[in-house]
Amino acid sequence: MEAVGLSLGLFGILHNVLEDIRYIQLARDFDDDFKTGTIRLRWAEVRLTRLSLALVECKTEINEASIAIAERDVQQISTLVEKARRKSQSPQTAQPKTFEERQVAEATKDLCKRNGKKLAERLKRLSVPQPIKKAFWAVLDKTAFEEMIGDIEKLLTTLEDAVPGARATLQRLAKEEMGHLSVDIGNLIQDILSKHSDAVDRLFKDALDDKKVEADLRRQGVQQTNHFSGTNNGAR
């Protein structure tokens, strides 16, 4: 199959993965304990969409082998999402042993039910066409959620490296993304990502560093202008 055909197949897989990620975010947004994980997941979506755009723009520069590798990695991400879903729905293998553990288990189970109801209401209000159960699993299992995010982040780095022909485009797109963010927001995102080695987005970090340098140069230019302006005024 030629590279263009493989690209189209890859875009279809990317679309499905992104849809799953958005449903998971809907579920996790209810719980403050998962805010960091949700931000990491949202950034995984940014990286996937960035890659999609780069592949669209660079079809002639990416060889068939690279596209095939990229498709394999995206398929793995899709499999991870499905695996996490199945794991969260399976019976717990380890039962609470102490009275305190049973209390915690019952309390968290109740919270999950409450969150599930909120999720159903939210999805209904948003008129989401997909079945509610597609996202329901994501509120049930913290371990599956965190493992899935870490595995997706590892694959994203591999995926970006698998298409060297798109490197320059990926860098440009990351810089464009940074153009829509303030340095303060960029720093907040970077602080969260930097706490998890697999979450680090090198393209975003480079774009953020460049924006900081540009901001410093502008600041220095303003200071120099003000200095010379003050000197000239004093000389009169």
pLDDT over 80 at 41, yes or no: no
Spatial distance between the Cα atoms of 23 and 32, rounded to a whole number of angstroms:
17
Q: What digits encode the pLDDT tens for the residues 202-236?
A: 999 999 999 999 988 888 877 666 655 655 555 55
The residue that leads in pLDDT, 25 or 38, is: 38
Q: Could you tell me which residues come within 8 angstroms of residue 168 by beta carbon, excluding any fewer than 6 positions away?
A: none
Distance of CA 67 to the CA centre of its chain: 21
pLDDT of residue 226: 62
Which residues have a Cβ under 8 Å from the Cβ of 196 and sit 6 or more positions away?
40, 150, 153
In percent, how much of the chain has pLDDT > 70?
50
Q: Which two tokens stand for residue 104?
A: 């915690």
- Are 175 and 210 contacting, i.e. CB atoms less than 8 angstroms apart? yes
Q: Spell out the alpha helix ranges (H) of the chain.
A: 3-28, 35-57, 64-89, 99-125, 133-136, 142-161, 167-179, 183-194, 202-235
Nearest Cα to Cα of residue 42 among 76, 18, 12: 18
CATH superfamily of 3-90+135-235: Prion-inhibition and propagation, HeLo domain (1.20.120.1020)
Token match 């440009």: residue? 172
Provide, rounded to the nearest whole percent, the portion of the chain with pLDDT above 90. 8
Residues with Cβ within 8 Å of residue 81, at least 6 apart in sequence: 17, 20, 21, 24, 148, 152
Q: Supply the pTM of this predicted model.
A: 0.63
Best CA proximity match to 18, nearest among 67, 81, 72: 81
Question: What integer is the mean pLDDT of 158-177?
Answer: 88
Pick 219 or 31 by higher pLDDT.
219
Domains of the chain by residue range: 3-90+135-235
The confidence score (pLDDT) of residue 6 equals: 47
pLDDT value at residue 201 = 92
CB 28 within 8 A of CB 42: no
Residues 20/80, Cβ–Cβ less than 8 Å? no
